[in-house]
Amino acid sequence: MNRSSKIIRYVSRRLIQGIPIILAIVVLNFFLLNLAEGDAVDVLAGEAGSATPEYMEEMRKKFGLDKPLPVQLAVYLKNVIQLDLGYSFRHDMQVTELIIDRFWPTLILMVSTILLAVGFGVLLGLFAAINLNTWKDSMVSVFALITYATPLFWVGLMMIILFSIKNDWFPTSGMENSAMFYEGFERVKDIAHHLVLPTITLSLFYLALYTRMMRASMLEQYGQDYVITARAKGVSERRITFVHVLRNALLPVVTMAGVQVGALIGGSVIVESVFAWPGLGMLAFESLFARDLNLLLGIFLLSSALVVAVNLVVDVIYCFLDPRIEVN
């Protein structure tokens, strides 16, 4: 069997295995979320001021919250299998619609952050490893330590003060200019302009992680036997570093990036909040406090599916980075 058909078989098997995992996550989340006191009706009625008990009972009935938990779960699972994520009573909208609406901003922020963090992290780690134990190496280490240790919200606020208020370079928050409402290419430029500060803030943290990981990984590979063999053959240091060591050193970094895609969806709540970026993290955060369980379950479902998918992609990337790794 050739390699590509092997990969296809492997991918489809993994996808089928992913389904029970995702369903298990849904069931677990369902019960965990129902442990919280109060429900969506309480919050809605609380915000509305005074509401009569009859009114609240009626709402519970309408939302299906009056049924016993196992029945609610069965109804939910039945809908999920039919790819219907249900209805958000708080927003009066389909959950799928809400999530897709907020998925694009998250995706834009996530992709740009990963590219920036992994890209610069790999470069800096490489730079530090090549200049091991020189002042350049120390500079990189100190930089990584500081960015890793600084709280995200503080970095975000400082960015706003420095680059938005003191210097009028970037907008403070939001995804686009809501006084102008640009269209077409102007809108793309506007969104990119709004994207700069949140992306830098969010990547700084991950950048530190990748830098340190890349540096350690490079150093580990330098000590391997194959490097000595290559040197003995008379391969240039440049070729050893960029062709042999770099490719091997990238494996753990790619693994890490795969794991963090899932974390980025939830982990960007702080950045989304500080920069009013309309992503999924903020939606999940708000729906928790509103006890909007349908919506929350939908977001969890999406992020678990995403983690399963990304891990699969990472496994496939392995095969290309290291031809010795085979799928079967």
Partner 1 sequence: MKLTKIMKGVLAAASIAVVGSFAQAQQAGGSLVFLVQPEPPTMAGYVSTSGPIGLLGPKIYDGLVDYDNDGKMVPMLAESVDVSPDGKTITFNLRKGVTWHDGEAFTSEDVQFTIMDVLKKVHPRGPNSFKEVSSIDTPDAHTAVFNLDNPAPYMLRALSSYESPMVPKHHLEGQDVKTAKLANNPIGTGPFKFVEWKKGQYMRLDKNENYWREGRPYLDRIVGRFVPDASTRAAAMEKGEVLYAAYNAVSNVEAVRLNKEKDNIGLTTDGYSMINPMALLEFNTKEGPFTDAAVRRAISTAIDRQYMIDTIFFGYGKPATSALSSNFSATGLHAKMPNYPANGDVAAANKILDDAGYARDGNGVRMKGMFDLIPYGEDWKRGGQYIQQVLGEIGIQVELRYEDVPTWLKRVYHNYDFEMNLNYFYQLSDPVLGVHRHYGTNMIRKGTHFVNSSRYSNPELDALLSAGMTTPDATKRAGIYLDIQKILANDMPVVNLFELEFLVVYNTKLKGAYGSAMGAYASFGDAYLD
Among residues 170 and 318, whose Cβ is nearest to partner 1? Answer: 170
Residues forming the site for partner 1 (CB under 8 A): 36-39, 42-53, 55-56, 59, 62, 90-93, 98, 101-102, 105, 153, 157, 160-161, 164-165, 168, 171-176, 178-181, 272-276, 278-279, 282-283, 286, 289-291
Give min distance, CB of 308 to partner 1, in A: 26
Among residues 1 and 165, whose Cβ is nearest to partner 1? Answer: 165
**The two three-digit tokens of residue 220, written as one number:** 């580990």
Among residues 141 and 164, whose Cβ is nearest to partner 1? Answer: 164
Among residues 20 and 53, whose Cβ is nearest to partner 1? Answer: 53
Among residues 2 and 52, whose Cβ is nearest to partner 1? Answer: 52
Give min distance, CB of 49 to partner 1, in A: 5
Give min distance, CB of 38 to partner 1, in A: 3
Among residues 120 and 285, whose Cβ is nearest to partner 1? Answer: 285
Give min distance, CB of 208 to partner 1, in A: 23
Give min distance, CB of 167 to partner 1, in A: 11
Give min distance, CB of 74 to partner 1, in A: 24
